[in-house]
Amino acid sequence: MLAERSRHSPRQTFPFKTGLWESNVTSSISGIQIPPDVQAHLAQMPPEQQEKIRSMMGGAPQTSVMRSCMTKEQFDKWNDSFHENKDKDEQCTHTNVITDVHERTFDINCTSPTAKSAGRIQMFIDSDEKGHGSVHMVRTASEGPQAMKPITVDVKFDTHYIGSDCGSIKPGDAEPVR
């Protein structure tokens, strides 16, 4: 089910150049409850390894820089993915949708037999060589060790065009920048 209010048609052509793009992504997760058996296992690890695992499970923001090769087909596939339900057990609705040549913004609410999620996705196309955006999602499970304890995911990203030559990176693939 898709409820949509749009400034323009949902299938909008965005200005962008094909080729190599670099994205800086900072994400944070909060609210994850570490089960007692996992806590016991963590306690047996060296302190540095414990901290690394705990930070991956939530808390401090994590930043990554990736390079990807974007073709028109890859971009269209990505653009179309916002209107697809990948999980057949999950029903999602999009509301407050704004789609034009410079912006794609919407609220999303999803319900499955075991959880509910709600959030806001914002993407801005600054030019054919630059974009940025954010994602804020809250997911609450209805069963299991995380039941009724919301997990919050926040992501901020910016991306910019590097050049037309993708080098060794194949379309649809991404590699970390070291």
Please write the tens of the pLDDT for every residue from 24-47. Answer: 999 998 888 777 887 888 888 898
pLDDT at 170: 93
Of these ranges, 29-43, 82-96, 151-165, the one predicted with the greatest mean pLDDT is 151-165
User: How would you label 147-166 residue by residue, b for 16+ Cβ within 10 Å and e otherwise?
Assistant: eeeebbbbbbbebebbeeeb
Binning pLDDT at 50, 70 and 90, where does residue 9 land? very low
Task: Provide the pLDDT for residue 1.
Answer: 38
Judge contact between 136 and 28, C-beta under 8 A.
no
Q: Which residues of 137-146 are buried (b: 16+ CB within 10 A; e: fewer)?
A: bebbbeeeeb
pTM, two decimals, is: 0.79
Query: Are the beta carbons of 63 and 26 closer than 8 angstroms?
Result: yes
- The pLDDT value given to residue 82: 66
Neighbour-count burial of 47, counting CB atoms closer than 10 A to its CB (0-12 exposed, 13-18 middle, 19+ buried):
exposed
State whether residue 81 is helix, strand or coil: helix
CA distances for 85 relative to 5, 59, 88, 89, 125, angstroms = 18, 29, 7, 9, 24
Q: What angle do CA 132, 138, 139 make, to 5 degrees?
A: 130
Mean per-residue pLDDT for 4-20?
63
The sign of the torsion formed by the CA atoms of 6, 11, 12, 17 equals positive
Structure-block tokens of residue 157: 């990203």
Q: What is the pLDDT of residue 4?
A: 39
Per-residue confidence at 58, pLDDT binned at 50, 70, 90?
low
Please tell me the distance from the alpha carbon of residue 147 to that of residue 145, in angstroms, as a whole number.
6
d(CA 104, CA 125): 8
Structure tokens given for 117: 């999620």
**pLDDT higher than threshold 80 for residue 16:** yes
Q: Are 49 and 137 in contact (CB under 8 A)?
A: no
Q: How confident is the model at residue 86 (pLDDT cuts 50, 70, 90)?
A: low
